[in-house]
Amino acid sequence: MKKIIPALLILVVSVLLISGCHKEVKVIPVTGTIIQNGQPLADVRIEFSKLDTGAISFAETDSAGHFTLTHTHGKSGAEPGKYRVSVFQKGKPIPLPTGTKLEDIPEERRNETSPDIPITNSDNSPIEVEITESGSNNIVIDIK
């Protein structure tokens, strides 16, 4: 009994500390479309990085360039604020050398892809957007 009380006390204090340290973030639903030269960018990866805190939300576009952001906390959306947007063409599977069979490649290398390629404005200017607490957060990102 003597050992149970200190262990129970430690457990209760730990739970209180952990729950008190977790700050609930306000996340707003965000959807949008990415276009470049008037055409939707399909199957790209996007990352929204909040300028003041570095908080991240991310998504992948569908075949029409549409996306729905997910916050790193797992909630759908992003925190209100100003963001820098990074867009990446996802890496492609690396083709097997001629005459090589899949079983000849070590298992840990079988699903390798080429590096992701950043997509930027032609003048390399940053892509920035603002997510507001009210109003529509259906964002159109037009890469020039």
What residue ranges define each of the domains in the chain, with the CATH number in brackets? Answer: 25-143 (2.60.40.1120)
Strand partners, 77: none
**pLDDT the model gives residue 10:** 56
22 pLDDT tier (thresholds 50, 70, 90):
low
pLDDT at 67 over 70: yes
Comparing 132 with 95, the larger pLDDT belongs to 132
Distance, in Å, from the CA atom of 39 to the CA atom of 42, rounded to the nearest integer, reads 9
104: left (phi over 0), alpha (psi -120 to 50) or beta: alpha
**pLDDT the model gives residue 3:** 53
**Contact partners, residue 3, CB within 8 Å, separation at least 6:** none
**pLDDT the model gives residue 57:** 96
Q: List alpha helices for 3-120, DSSP H.
A: 4-21
Q: Mean pLDDT of all residues in the chain?
A: 83
CB 128 within 8 A of CB 81: no
Confidence (pTM) = 0.71
Closest among 59, 82, 84, 94 to 130, alpha carbons compared: 82
Q: How long, in residues, is the chain?
A: 144
What average pLDDT does this structure show over 66-90? Answer: 93
What average pLDDT does this structure show over 72-101? Answer: 87
Residue 108 CA from chain centroid, whole number: 25
Distance, in Å, from the CA atom of 4 to the CA atom of 121, rounded to the nearest integer, reads 63
Structure token pair of residue 75 = 């909630």
**pLDDT the model gives residue 5:** 52
Pairing, β 31-36 against β 138-143: parallel
pLDDT at 13 over 60: no
**pLDDT the model gives residue 34:** 96
**pLDDT the model gives residue 31:** 95
pLDDT at 93 over 50: yes
| H helix or E strand, kind and range, residue 130 | strand 127-131
17 pLDDT tier (thresholds 50, 70, 90):
very low
Residue 2 CA from chain centroid, whole number: 49
